[in-house]
Amino acid sequence: MQRICWLSLCRISGILRFSFAPDLRFNPLPYCTISTLSILSKQMASFSSDSDKTIPVVSTITSPFEDSAPIDAGSSLRKPLSLWPGTYHSPVTNALWLARSSIFERLVDPSVDAPPQSQLLSKTPAQSRTSIHYNFSDDYILREQYRDPWKGVRIGKLLEDLDALAGTISVKHCSDDESTTRPLLLVTASVDKMVLKKPILVDADLKIGGAVTWVGRSSLEIQMVVTQPPAEGSENGNSVALTANFTFVARDSKTGKSASVNRLVPQTEEEKALYAEGEARDLRRKKEREQQRKEFEQGHRLHGDGKRLRDLLREGRVLCDMPALADRDSILIKDTRLENALICQPQQRNLHGRIFGGFLMHRAFELAFSTCYAFVGQTPCFLEVDHVDFLRPVDVGDFLRFKSCVLYTQLDDPKQPLINIEVTAHVTRPELRSSEVSNTFYFTFTVHPEALEGGLKIRKVLPATEEEARHVLERYDAEILV
């Protein structure tokens, strides 16, 4: 009777389980595998290797092997609290962190004097490749956890899962075979060009996956892909719904200094092409940083953009100084601003005790969506996360303020006007009278074609100060160059 009730409760409550191989080498299987039915008593048994499996994330995530036993995320048999990242996150992020904590299972309380990794390993992209399948079509509870008010998937929650999965992939690549060495501290440095290629529905199964595609000395790039089968009768037969590139950097967990990561050996032609693209992006980032340094040293020269700057300011100053005579289809940046604030709680921390980057992206996205909604007057359509910079870590207890604005609009294409939203996260310390930017986010939205057919007009957004005008030009040019 007890067994029947327990199984029934699992089906009703949508418990999520994840299990993993007990050794730390992460055998080079193409995918981790999630299944719904396994027995907890077989946990941590020996595993037999299987080929090319997909993770069915229903209410339960299990091991990379079909015959392996699950770890019940709702069970009392959890990892020590010191390894558990809090209770805020989605079923997927909880399970991924449980799996990631297993990597450090033998180092629950490692000595600060434990030696660093002494020898770099060579790994293939296949050894880090991991995917998760959301069984939305059959799992009602999982579906309800991700549903937005318009029968789509909540993009903010998906951003959390993408960041968590990318973090797990980075840990898998950077782990070594030694239980006596201290693990690396891996943090999200940036997210580049997260592009939504088609709407993501909540009533069809969804899959997210990724692998390490490029490695530098102390950084690595992970390509993430979200796929969903095309709907019946859809003109778009492509299953790829979203793509993104996450960049992680490695730090020594004792000294905080940059640390070398394992080498990457691409095998297939596609993997070699992705590696070359990552190398090109890294070179571009280095050139941009060098250019910014030179500009700063030379007092921010205008590079021939003086006329563009003056033209932008001229229009904005009419709105400031003579609002009655200004173009009614224009608005100042400062008049589109929204803001919210929070105290960062322990439930929002990651395995390193700092605030989970996916949580920050989730909150930033929802503020950006609200800003665009208030600006347009219609439900906006998300298109891209243009860029995210993680400039400094956010700690538990920090007073965090999110500030957003419509930075500029692009109205060249009347069928798809673009609204570009900037969100900055500030760590504010009232007792020190200080406020520092911890993260910057750039999102692009548009509106439904039906709204445009009904006569909706998108207003032009103008800067009021030279600083705003310069920032608009920098962001616009950066977007054009990508």
107 and 144 fall within a common domain: yes
pLDDT at 200 (0 to 100) = 94
Counted domains in the chain: 3
Cβ atoms < 10 Å from Cβ of 72: 22
**pLDDT of 408 over the 90 cut:** yes
pLDDT digits (tens, 9 = 90+) for 231-252: 776 666 789 999 999 999 998 8
Here the tokens at position 310 are 């003056």
Query: For residues 425 and 363, what is the distance between their CA atoms, to the nearest angstrom?
Result: 10
Q: Of 284, 301, 318, which one is at a domain's C-terminal end?
A: 301
pLDDT digits (tens, 9 = 90+) for 344-383: 988 787 767 788 888 899 999 999 999 999 999 999 999 9
Q: HSE (CB half, 13 Å, CA atoms) of 372?
A: 27
177 and 275 fall within a common domain: no
- Do residues 223 and 141 make contact, with C-beta atoms less than 8 angstroms apart? no
Extract the runs of DSSP E, i.e. beta strands, from 200-316: 206-215, 219-227, 240-252, 263-264
pLDDT at 44 (0 to 100) = 26
Query: For residues 230 and 140, what is the distance between their CA atoms, to the nearest angstrom?
Result: 20
296 and 343 fall within a common domain: no
Residue 22: pLDDT band (50, 70, 90) is: very low
Its pTM stands at: 0.77
**Interval 415-439 mean pLDDT:** 93
Q: Of 240, 265, 290, which one is at a domain's C-terminal end?
A: 265
H helix runs in 247-399, sequence order? 269-297, 306-321, 357-376
* Separation of first and last alpha carbons in the chain: 61
pLDDT at 310 (0 to 100) = 84
List the beta bridge partners of residue 273: none
pLDDT at 328 (0 to 100) = 81
Here the tokens at position 313 are 């300011």
Of residues 102 and 291, more confidence is placed in 291
Q: Of 251, 279, 301, which one is at a domain's C-terminal end?
A: 301
**Interval 51-59 mean pLDDT:** 42
pLDDT digits (tens, 9 = 90+) for 116-151: 777 889 999 999 998 888 889 888 888 888 999 988
235 and 272 fall within a common domain: no
Whichever domain contains 449, its CATH number is 3.10.129.10
Amino acid at position 70, single letter = P
203 and 69 fall within a common domain: yes
For residue 363, give the 3-state DSSP assignment.
Answer: helix
Report the relative pairing of strands 56-57 and 130-134 from DSSP bridges.
parallel
For residue 291, give the 3-state DSSP assignment.
Answer: helix
Cα torsion 53, 59, 61, 67: sign: negative
370 and 312 fall within a common domain: yes
Cα torsion 89, 91, 92, 94: sign: positive
pLDDT digits (tens, 9 = 90+) for 442-452: 999 999 988 88
pLDDT at 453 (0 to 100) = 84
363 and 438 fall within a common domain: yes
Among 4-8, 21-25, 43-47, 295-299, the least confident range: 43-47
234 and 359 fall within a common domain: no
Q: Which domain holds residue 26?
A: 2-265
Residue 106: pLDDT band (50, 70, 90) is: very low
75 and 114 fall within a common domain: yes
174 and 188 fall within a common domain: yes
284 and 315 fall within a common domain: no
With CA atoms as reference, report the closest residue to 47 among 61, 19, 67.
67
216 and 240 fall within a common domain: yes
